[in-house]
Structure 1
Amino acid sequence: MTDASPRTTPTVAGRLDALPFTRAHLKVLTGSGLGWALDAMDVGLVSFVLAALIAEWSLTGEQASWIASAGFVGMAIGASLGGLLADRYGRRSVFAVTLLVYGLATGASALVGGLAALIVLRVFVGLGLGAELPVASTYVSEFAPARMRGRLIVILEAFWAVGWTAAALIGYLVIPNLADGWRWAFALGALPAAYALVVRWGLPESARWLERQGRHDEAEAVVERFETAAPLGTSRRRRPQRSVEPVAQAAPAATPVRLSAGERLRTLWAPEFRVRTAALWIVWFCVNFAYYGAFIWIPSILFAQGYDLVKSFGFTLLITLAQLPGYAVAAWLIEVWGRRTTLSVFLVGSAIAAVLFGTATGEGAIIATGMALSFFNLGAWGALYAVTPENYPTSLRATGSGWAAGVGRIASIIAPLTVPVLLGLGGAPLLFTVFGAFFVIAAAAAWGLADRRGAALDDR
């Protein structure tokens, strides 16, 4: 005797979570990753440009700090606004606008003739960069199947290492070897933005966001595109079989209530989310302070210790290469240990490496401890970007991610300004001990986050 009762059509979220990894997923990942790498290249270039401008323009430490911090002022504003706009107008549209703003401002930076103009343009560059990063991680997480979501977000974050390595190569090969090499560096940083813009417009809008907006036909078309895409590798065996039996269509969902920007911000501190929000803001603040305080200044610190530009840039290039294995290990562990454990372990490793780097003497020790700092710190970044969007439902996801990143950018504004002061008080040992303390605080706060390893996203 057969059961004649009709079965309900799976939801958009359920269908996305059941999919194997397909060519459509790869397109979303690489298209978003390209923009992520360009962001990293621009931020990374500043660390090399600063060292060159200190020599060429005879900048003081304070003036150089303002160049670095100006970009982070823009990133703080951009991250906060970008998340709100992405929850209101969609993920893909915000992607394209942010890349355009960042590309134009970076190109214009190559033409500046003085400090004030460069600082202003760095603010505009930061607006684009800050808005894009949290939106990109939200976007990819909403397409990723639940069983591999964390791993894919860490892989997305690994594109940061690709961009930072490109910046290190430009810093090593271009800036010291060409007249006005820093201008050519900024020009190179702007050129790929046009291609990234084209790639982004070819990506689909988030099906979860479309469904949340009541645009069910568009959401269905996007999901069908992923369901009919060719699976990759071993994923071929994981594709669910579509039933040929007639099924009852699910009743159309009621039109969702659209929250205003103010209501979304207040909801971040509702009883359900307040511990998560507080923990995220603490982690983002501490990690940004330690990371940008260290990595923006490493080439200049080495230059001040007596190494010439070529050698200090070469050391930085080697240190940067350790980012990729850091991401690879984090991408594996995040689905084995879970989000919180992986994040906290990598943050503790970052703290130990920071103290060792600050007290290192000799070229071998500087490179080895710097690579350890790079390995652990960037692995922690991958875990942080994976866990952040998972802590909020679809209606708040980009807003929550954007504001966490925005709070973090406040720290990245303060950190470059603090570095010269700390160096004056106690040199590199004191500076990197302070960074180590911030990593420890972040490791403790990570345990206030929700760990949704293997669980479906909250689509409220």
Structure 2
Amino acid sequence: MSDKQRKFIIKLTALISGGMLIDGFILGAIGIVMPAITHDLQLSLAWQGLIGASALIGIFIGGPLGGYLADKIGRKPMFTLDLAIFLVGSVAQFFVTEGWQLFAVRVLMGVAIGADYSIGWPLLAEFAPARLRGKLLCIQEVGWYVGYLLSYASGYVLTISHTANWNVILGLSTIPTVIVLLARLGTPESPRWLMSKGRRKEALALADEYMDPEERGDLEATPKASNSRGFLQLFSPEYIKATVFVSVFWICNVTPYFAIGTFVPAVLEHLGLEDGLTAGLGINAIAVLGTLIAAALIEKVGRRKLAIPPYGVATLSLLVVAFFYEASPMVTVICFLTFSLANAISTTLTGVYPGEVFPTEIRGVGVGFATATSRIGAAGGTFFLPFCMTQYGITTTVLIAAGISLFGWVVSYLLAPETKGKRLSETSAPSATTRQFSASSLEANR
């Protein structure tokens, strides 16, 4: 790989991580400012849940839509358009004065971020060399957690110091958005996407300039997408197991995290901690550590060993909280820290698998569909947590989260493929995909 190609991969990784950082940034502060928003706008429990879940609802819409457009018209044009839309919504947060306005603005921002998932991850997977692809895709989740932590920390400081109201805290996402949007201008089109559209000459020219020479042979193996059926192809016999796996894997990782994370100060204070904000900051900080661990280990130990065991640790941590939270606040904090670390490690794989198991012609829509289904769980958990805590108490609430995590562990054990070191033509070809998931099932049932 030449210096130019190496620098390009580093830059592209940073640009896509920037989008993930922005996603984490808009979600991290909402839990901090929710009490102030509730007070100022006189929100009911229903509106609290809707605003807390608004960006997630938008991602549910934007993921499939952005993926569909990225597969049809290309990665390049969508790569900047989605952030331009996000910028409009980000600025609008400074001026909202009603609950419905805030909800609408954050849904729009969520649409843009959902599109960014299904554009950025395929773009990086299609440029990255096989030996580094897992690590580079993992870094995207590092970006998300860093953004979430930065937003949570800045919101924390501004809240306790009373130096800014909630409009300003939410509107701070404008700053990283402008930076990343400007830096994305001039990003080239994916050679694999061009090849899938029959534009071989353009694809090879860009590959010579930007891709690792080892990947050129794999680029030639990219099939033309003349017979692509879009969404329907996700449910064909060749890809149904891949679609089910990445969707369930993602749902079961993020549902407990968002349910607890969005309202973490309230949850921890309900459990007896006097300073839920500070403890919540620690929980989010250790999640960043979890993503770094996953990025460091993924090309050494493989995908399955990072995807499956952390689910078990997360489930056990939540069970201890459910049954023993009255024993000691310190036990509760330790369990939530453990959950956050383990959950972050396995969640990091949600940035890897979707980009690997779908072929070029449906990679965008595949990532978008998985993104959308994951946000059903995330938005549902965020919306129903206040009701569940009020109506059924902390034990039932945390037991539900543990049950979701346990289900994710079982599905991952049965279906998670091992794609370490394999080229995209191997991990996403119909026959290869079927063999991978079948082999995983046989191995898990021995």
Q: What does 1:16-31 align with in structure 2 at a 5 Å threshold?
A: 22-31=6-15
Partner of 1:53: 37
Aligned to 1:452: 419
Q: Which runs of 5+ in 2 are unaligned?
A: 430-446
Is the counterpart of residue 339 in structure 1 residue 303 in structure 2?
yes
Query: Following the alignment from structure 1 to structure 2, what is the Cα–Cα distance between the partners of residues 264 and 227?
Result: 27
Output the CA distance in 2 between the equivalents of 1:307 and 1:326.
24
Give CA-to-partner distance per residue, 1:15-41, whole Å, 9 cap, x none. x8x999822211111111112111110
**Aligned partner (choices 352, 358, 377) of residue 386 of structure 1:** 352
Is 1:387–1:451's contact at 8 Å kept on the other side of the alignment?
no
Kindly indicate whether residue 224 of structure 2 is the aligned counterpart of residue 256 of structure 1.
Answer: yes
Relative to structure 1, is the Cα distance of residues 54 and 382 closer, same or farther in structure 2, using a 3 angstrom cutoff?
same
- Give the alignment partner of residue 443 of structure 1, picking from 402, 406, 409: 409
Q: Deviations over 1:94-116 (max 9, x none)?
A: 22121111221122122111111
Match of 1:314 in 2: 278
Residue matched to 2:49: 65
Taking structure 2 as the reference length, what is the TM-score of the superposition? 0.87
Q: 1:352 to 1:25 in 2, by over 3 A?
A: same
Note if 1:397 corresponds to 2:363.
Answer: yes
Residue 5 of structure 1: aligned partner: none
Question: For the Cα contact (< 8 Å) 1:391–1:449, is it kept in 2?
Answer: no
Higher helix share: 2
What's the % identity of the aligned pairs? 24
Q: Deviations over 1:296-355 (max 9, x none)?
A: 1112323556767xx332221111110122112222332233223321112222222233
Q: Would the aligned equivalents of 1:19 and 1:227 in 2 still touch at CA under 8 Å?
A: no
Name the residue aligned to 1:367. Answer: 333
- 1:454 maps to amino acid: G
Question: Does the aligned pair in 2 maintain the 1:289–1:415 contact within 8 Å?
Answer: yes
- Per-residue CA deviations over 1:215-259 (Å, capped at 9, x if unaligned) read 23332332222369xxxxxxxxxx87x9xxxxxx99x99993435
- Residue 281 of structure 1 is matched in structure 2 by 247
Instruction: Give CA deviations for 1:260-307 in whole Å, capped at 9, x if unaligned.
Output: 6xx211111111111221222222222232221111111232355676
Contiguous gaps of at least 5 residues in structure 1: 1-15, 229-238, 243-248
- Mapped to 2, the partners of 1:320 and 1:278 lie a distance apart of 29
Q: 2:147 aligns with which of 163, 166, 185?
A: 163
SS at match of 1:22: helix
TM-score using structure 1 length: 0.84
Deviation at 1:452, TM superposition (A): 1.5
Give how far 1:391 is off: 1.0
Does the CA contact (< 8 Å) of 1:71 and 1:125 recur in 2?
A: yes
Deviation at 1:402, TM superposition (A): 0.8
Is the counterpart of residue 292 in structure 1 residue 223 in structure 2? no
Q: Which residue of 2 aligns with 1:246?
A: none
> What is the CA-CA distance between 1:357 and the residue it aligns to?
4.1
Alignment map for 1:42-191 (pairs within 5 Å)? 42-178=26-162, 180-191=164-175
Superposed CA deviations along residues 61-89 of structure 1, whole A, max 9, x for unmatched, are 32210111222221101011111111112
Cα deviation digits, residues 416-435 of structure 1 (max 9, x gap): 22212321243222212211
Kindly provide the amino acid, as one letter, of the partner of residue 272 in structure 1. Answer: E
Distance 1:253 1:48 in 2: 49
Summarize the Cα distance change of 1:200–1:354 in structure 2 as closer, same or farther, 3 Å threshold. Answer: farther
